[in-house]
Structure 1
């Protein structure tokens, strides 16, 4: 049974038992906009224990908020009791919750476009806050007083940007001004929640508009001050006719196509080291900006509490984003090592985007892509000819030299100079003797 039909069945079951039950929030907005919805949330006057008694498989995810999950045909549906909320001392969660009516439930929600209710049985729409008009006009507007709504949950400031990007809507002026005034308070929100919203912005539609809007609303300097520093940093016009570093970055973001989180961050941060390495000598230079940028990227990822695996991948993308320009002069073993990295295809895309957003010269990109496709997987990452155990077997003492020897052997193997174990062992002995001497 389709997910929507399952949701309708839950509504019908509740209504058959005498309760009010309605689709609520994003799924109603998506229906009006003729978009597919992944989730169908249901609002009702049934209390949590009523819901749990009515359905075979349920579990509570927030009894204090009246939220129960009903499992139907393998899909989870949140069923929440109509409620009002009061006092948000932590700037994120209500201190007091009380059960209420459908209209009162709507008026405590965030934005008018998310404040619609729909009865899928009677096929009736309930709009207490002008949500349909704002959808038609393409407006993101808070329900009620914007300062009050945004103060209740500071994360709503970034969510407003996300919705504006996702639907290509504009933020209502009063909501916009309230965000600007409250922006310094965004730090009460956990780094994890900020990262989640940022991820949705830069991997979703119009990521360049998202970063630009965060900047206009004074949120960028709060959550990513290093990105704000790129504004006004001039670049040599012959390489970057598009403008300053911030303009270039926005243009790069606009050229992404369904990026992963790590690629999107790599694109956003690839030139993050330029403001701190800017020099105007014979011409404008940014010496070692990729290395400085990698260090800054590590700090940003730590601040956003990015996973270690994602952090290492993003740092690598920033560190290596210039390597394509030297690819034609690289030794084969170095090129193969680059191709063997698990994030190589993301680096390839980053370099394509970087070139398109500046000089437009894709020759280095095409060279690397052709070389990558030409080399087999075995050629790029062959099985090691020898290991540390083999070095011990020929009488060498374990120590730091082992890594040096094995890396040199691998380089020779990747260059095609060594193809057998015997040749590798002979070379290892030569290297050991040279180190000893």
Structure 2
């Protein structure tokens, strides 16, 4: 089957195409699966373009879902995979720089490919494995060149999200943007305001999760594109290059998109409140917000604890005062947040980035990894004492004192001041609440 990939995904795609062709219709694999096949990258889904009309596709397969009939798309359900099958079309009168108001079904593959965003996405493969490449996408792919199909300004006016996709492809392919495409992006960047923040988030997340996030963020910095989002992104949209340069060097030193975003916010000295506003503007999920904001919260807790520890360091044994706020931060925000903070701060320190931690935080950065490994408990449930145990021994009704006493008991175990044994902890906790 030529350059068509192997495996069940492609075998079933080939079966879909053969069924269409048996009825006299044209059928091609198109878009990302073609691009990634040429690159030798993993492929998770295959899209098919056909000359058959949507109702004709519906009649040919036993299991179909009419996912987007108005745009010509039908999802064909095969035994193992699903395939979006879309009728050749051309589009006009785009609404709000995002969606076409009018879709006309056509019978010509090249005209269908002409409406696509970039040449590297405007290729097709037929059932025999022959590549159809009317706009030079294969040559551009070999050169890692991101170039719009046809008039770049028109492509971006049609769909402003394409500007972010342009930057993302340049980043994930370690490529460059054609001069005409870059000029058009800079000229049309104000139209990004028409794009929903959820779509902005999706593109930024993919870019930031990629192998070379610094390249993508450098292009965003140069273009000023993020200054034109529907909701303001604060420091992430800044074009202050002196602040950004060391951050870009540090970005690849942490692994997840959550930590990379947290690193950028730390490096711009964004506080928790502003970080939360940015996270909400980007429509981050609850889990994504927790991961990003946990790092910022750990930073604030450790900075406050470090300042208190500096004063205590002047007295005998006072240097140990740093371990207590470190353990308190672990209790408050969890191990992931603390490890994330250590990773981000280590990356920033390694490049001399702005917002480098003050003296009060340096001991945490220097010794935190070892301290974390040395702490025998991670969560309240890890200690050999429960709220019921304490209520029974104290003969008091529940109240704020209970939580305070349990936290004090956990902290005593974490700092290895009290063994993690029920009777020892019970004695310690009762003494603690009485003194309180």
Q: Does TM, scored on the shorter chain, surpass 0.5?
A: yes
Aligned with 1:355 (options 349, 358, 366): 349
How far apart, in 2, do the equivalents of 1:196 and 1:391 lie? Answer: 49
1:430 counterpart residue number: 431
Conserved 8 A contact 2:323-2:371: no
Deviation sequence 1:343-364 (CA, Å, 0-9, x none): 4443343233223323999997
Q: Contact 2:212/2:252 (CA < 8 Å) preserved in 1?
A: yes
Residue 316 of structure 2 corresponds to none
Q: Give 1:149's aligned residue.
A: 155
- Does 2:261 match 1:262? no
The correspondence of residues 73-222 of structure 1 with structure 2, limited to 5 A, is 73-100=79-106, 101-121=108-128, 123-222=129-228
Instruction: Spell out the pairing of 1:382-397 with structure 2 (5 A cutoff).
Output: 382-387=382-387, 390-391=390-391, 394-397=394-397
Give the TM-score normalised by structure 1: 0.83
- How far apart are the structure 1 equivalents of 2:298 and 2:24? 63
Contact 1:226 1:272 in 2 (8 A): yes
State the distance in 2 between where 1:7 and 1:220 align: 38
Is residue 2:378 matched to residue 1:400? no
Give the deviation of 1:134 after TM superposition: 2.0
The TM-score with structure 2 as length reference comes to 0.83
Measured in 2, the distance between the counterparts of 1:21 and 1:347 equals 51
CA-to-partner distance for each residue in 1:153-209, whole Å, 9 max, x for gaps?
110010000011111221112211121122122121111110000001111021111
* C-alpha contact (below 8 Å) 1:183/1:219 kept by paired residues: yes
How far is the alpha carbon of 1:421 from its aligned partner?
3.2
Offset, 1:332: 4.8
How far 1:136 moved relative to its partner? 3.0
What whole-Å deviation, never above 9, does each CA across 1:209-234 have from its counterpart, x for those lacking one? 111101112213334341344725xx
**CA separation of 1:267/1:349 partners in 2, compared to 1, >3 Å: closer, same or farther?**
same
For residues 388 and 239 of structure 2, the distance between their equivalents in structure 1, rounded to whole angstroms, comes to 47
- Tell me if structure 2 keeps the 8 A contact 1:336–1:380: no
Matched, 1:312 2:295: no
CA contact (8 A) 2:53 2:72 kept: yes
Q: How does 1:183-332 map to 2 (within 5 A)?
A: 183-223=189-229, 224-229=233-238, 231=240, 244-256=242-254, 259-273=255-269, 292-321=270-299, 323=302, 329=320, 332=323
Judging changes above 3 Å, is the alpha-carbon distance between structure 1 residues 132 and 432 closer, same or farther for their aligned structure 2 residues? Answer: closer
**2:71–2:103 Cα contact (<8 Å) kept:** yes
Q: Cα–Cα, structure 1 residues 379 and 194, in superposed 2: closer, same or farther, change >3 Å?
A: closer
The answer to whether the Cα contact below 8 Å between 2:322 and 2:364 also exists between their aligned partners in 1 is no
Rounded Cα–Cα distance in structure 2 between residues aligned with 1:202 and 1:138: 19
Q: Hey, what does 2:415 align to over in structure 1?
A: 415
Deviation at 1:127, TM superposition (A): 1.9
In structure 2, distance between residues paired with 1:418 and 1:349? 30
Distance (Å, rounded) in 2 between the aligned partners of 1:170 and 1:106? 22
Question: Quick one: distance in 1 between partners of 2:363 and 2:426?
Answer: 40
Change (3 A) 1:390 1:253: same
Asked whether the 8 Å contact 1:332–1:415 carries over to 2, the reply is: yes
RMSD: 3.0
Matched position secondary structure for 1:88: strand
The alpha-carbon deviation at position 384 of structure 1 amounts to 5.0
Counterparts of 1:22-41 in structure 2, within 5 Å, are 22-41=28-47
What is the CA distance between 1:118 and its match in structure 2? 1.4
CA distance in 1, matches of 2:373, 2:328: 14
**Residue matched to 2:315:** none
Q: Which residue of 1 aligns with 2:17?
A: 11
Q: State the distance in 2 between where 1:268 and 1:378 align.
A: 27
Contact preservation (8 Å) 1:386, 1:424: no
Of 334-343 and 80-89, more deviation after overlay is shown by: 334-343
In structure 2, the gaps of 5 or more residues are: 1-6, 310-318
How many Å separate the matches in 1 of 2:218 and 2:37? Answer: 29
2:27–2:51 contact (8 Å) kept in structure 1? yes
Partner SS for 1:342: helix
CA change 1:189–1:96 in 2 (3 A) is same
Q: Which runs of 5+ in 1 are unaligned?
A: 233-243, 274-291
Distance 1:51 1:227 in 2: 45
